[in-house]
Structure formats: C-alpha cells, structure tokens
C-alpha cells in the first residue's frame, strides 16, 4: 500500500493532470470505498467535471451488505451505481452498458447530424488505495481474456479499447484524500487508506466506539466479551486479557492489542464492516 503525502505542489500537479484528462473523456467513473463511501469521496471532482458520472462502490466484499444497499440508494439519486470487488469477481459488463445508455441521446444526435461514430471514452478517478489500479487491471484482464481471439481489444497509447464503442483511459485520476472533517480523516485512517496523526491506541478506542454502536454482536463474538456496556478502555483491557496479551511484569500489552484490533478490522476478521452511513454525514456537514 502506498502512502502519499499531499504537499500543495503534489496536489496542484494531480489536479492539473486530472483537468487535462477530463477534457478527453465523455464519462467519469468515480471509485469509492464501500466501507467509507463519504470519507473516501473528494467532492472537488463534481466541481471540476459536469460530465456524466458512474459511481463505483468498490471493496463490497469488506463492507456490510445492508449498509451497501443504503449507500447505493443514496448515490443512485444522482448517478448510476455499480458495486464491485475489484480483487474478485465483478460484473464489469454493466459499465459499458450503463455508459452506452447514459450517452445514448448524445450519440443519436451526433448520428442524425451525420457525424462519424466515435467510441465513448471514460476515465477512472478516486483517492489513493480505493482500488483504482486493481479495478483497471481486473477490468482489462477479464475482458481481454474473454475476447482474446478477437482483434481490436488492445492497449494502445493511453486508451484501453474495451470494445468497439468503449475506451478507458489507462491511467486513473488521482484525487487527494479529503481531510476536512475529523471523522473523515479517522475513517480513512481506520481503513488504512492514509497514515494519521492519531496513534494506534487512540484509533482503536475510536474503532471500539463505532463497533459498540453499529456492530455490537460482531464485537462480542470476535473477542468473547461478557458485555459491552463498558468504557472502550475497559473493553480494550478485556480483549488484551482474553487474548493473553501481557508484557513483562504481568501488565496488559495494550499496544499489541490496539495493533491487533486495527489489523483485524482491515483484514475483515471482525466481520464485514461499514464505518459510516448517510445519516452520520449530516452531523459533519
């Protein structure tokens, strides 16, 4: 995983690259992390581009299905939404179908004016670690594998020719992580998308707060807790004790316990967890 530091110079360069690429495409494909759709979104893209957009909720294999359904509905108010697990099986076929239906009117207009047919061009955008490269690779590999014997599916220059009417820009647009709200930064740190100024102990306490509220059953089951009507600090101590995490002298090894909990969140050992819902974001806006 890459940890990028967003210095102003870096951000300006990334913005310039995106603005340039946006001029070349008809459609924007915005990838969000299904576990933190709001925190993994950089709203600037909607200011920079008014072009039709498809929203991808990626990493659905790590998010809880009910929450993903809620988020899907939320985003579908404005844009078509596709759910993906870029690392596994995903229905990429939908993307070309949706792109074609979004562009239908425009293409028909062009055709009626006798213009030459041009393939629809799209680009992927998203913040670091949301799965942009994985998505592009799986998309291309899956498609090319399927139609390997047919000519025309080639990577040429910067365009990946998915089929005769759809091309994808092979470099994704990099958006800066949005760190305007405390919760947003915290969620990005919890999923491991960015480093964070909070130490792992404080992060794990914040995580326990979220789990107590949203996933009490998973928390109790995973760590064999008696009850969770307790402070998060006490719960952390109980987990350390249950796991037998001690340092020399017999004190609880809280550091190791905090690291373990964060690792178990990120590897979905605790379960499929979505850290925020549309209702939560109203508090932040």
Angle, alpha carbons 22-80-282 (nearest 5°): 90
**Are the C-beta atoms of 26 and 103 separated by less than 8 Å?**
yes
Q: How far is the CB of 117 from ligand G4P (least distance, A)?
A: 32
- Closest CB to ligand G4P belongs to which residue? 131
Q: How far is the CB of 86 from ligand G4P (least distance, A)?
A: 4
Task: List residues binding ligand G4P (CB under 6 A).
Answer: 1, 58-59, 61-62, 84-87, 126, 128-134
Q: How far is the CB of 4 from ligand G4P (least distance, A)?
A: 9
Angle, alpha carbons 203-207-211 (nearest 5°): 175
Nearest to ligand G4P of 1, 145 (CB atom)? 1
Q: How far is the CB of 103 from ligand G4P (least distance, A)?
A: 25
Nearest to ligand G4P of 132, 161 (CB atom)? 132
Nearest to ligand G4P of 79, 134 (CB atom)? 134
**Are the C-beta atoms of 144 and 170 separated by less than 8 Å?**
no
Q: How far is the CB of 90 from ligand G4P (least distance, A)?
A: 8
Task: Tell me the chain's radius of gyration from C-alpha atoms.
Answer: 22
Classify 217 as helix, strand or coil. helix
In terms of Cβ atoms closer than 10 Å to its own Cβ (0-12, 13-18, 19+), residue 46 is: middle
Nearest to ligand G4P of 59, 161 (CB atom)? 59
Report how far residue 239's alpha carbon sits from residue 233's, in angstroms, rounded to the nearest whole number: 10
DSSP one-letter code for 151: T
Nearest to ligand G4P of 129, 183 (CB atom)? 129
């Amino acid at each position: 995983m890459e940890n990028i530091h967003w210095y102003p110079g870096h951000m300006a360069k990334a913005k310039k690259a995106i603005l340039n690429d946006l001029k070349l495409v008809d459609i924007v494909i915005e990838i969000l992390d299904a576990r933190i759709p709001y925190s993994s979104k950089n709203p600037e893209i909607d200011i920079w581009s008014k072009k039709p957009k498809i929203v991808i909720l990626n990493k659905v294999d790590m998010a809880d299905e009910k929450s993903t359904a809620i988020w899907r509905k939320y985003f579908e108010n404005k844009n078509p939404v596709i759910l993906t697990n870029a690392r596994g099986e995903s229905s990429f076929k939908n993307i070309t179908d949706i792109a074609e239906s979004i562009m239908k009117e425009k293409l028909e207009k062009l055709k009626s004016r006798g213009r030459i047919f041009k393939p629809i061009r799209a680009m992927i955008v998203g913040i670091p670690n949301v799965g942009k490269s994985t998505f592009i690779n799986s998309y291309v590999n899956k498609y090319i594998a399927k139609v390997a014997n047919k000519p025309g599916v080639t990577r040429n220059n910067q365009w990946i020719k998915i089929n005769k009417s759809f091309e994808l820009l092979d470099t994704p647009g990099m958006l800066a992580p949005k760190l305007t709200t405390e919760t947003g930064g915290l969620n990005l740190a919890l999923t491991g998308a960015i480093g964070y100024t909070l130490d792992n102990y404080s992060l794990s306490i914040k995580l326990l707060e979220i789990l107590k509220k949203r996933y009490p059953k998973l928390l109790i089951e995973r760590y064999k807790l008696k009850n969770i009507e307790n402070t998060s600090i006490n719960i952390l101590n109980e987990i350390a004790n249950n796991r037998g995490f001690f340092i020399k002298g017999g004190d609880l090894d809280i550091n190791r316990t905090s690291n373990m909990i964060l690792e178990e969140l990120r590897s979905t050992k605790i379960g499929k967890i979505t850290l925020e819902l549309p209702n939560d974001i109203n508090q932040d806006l």
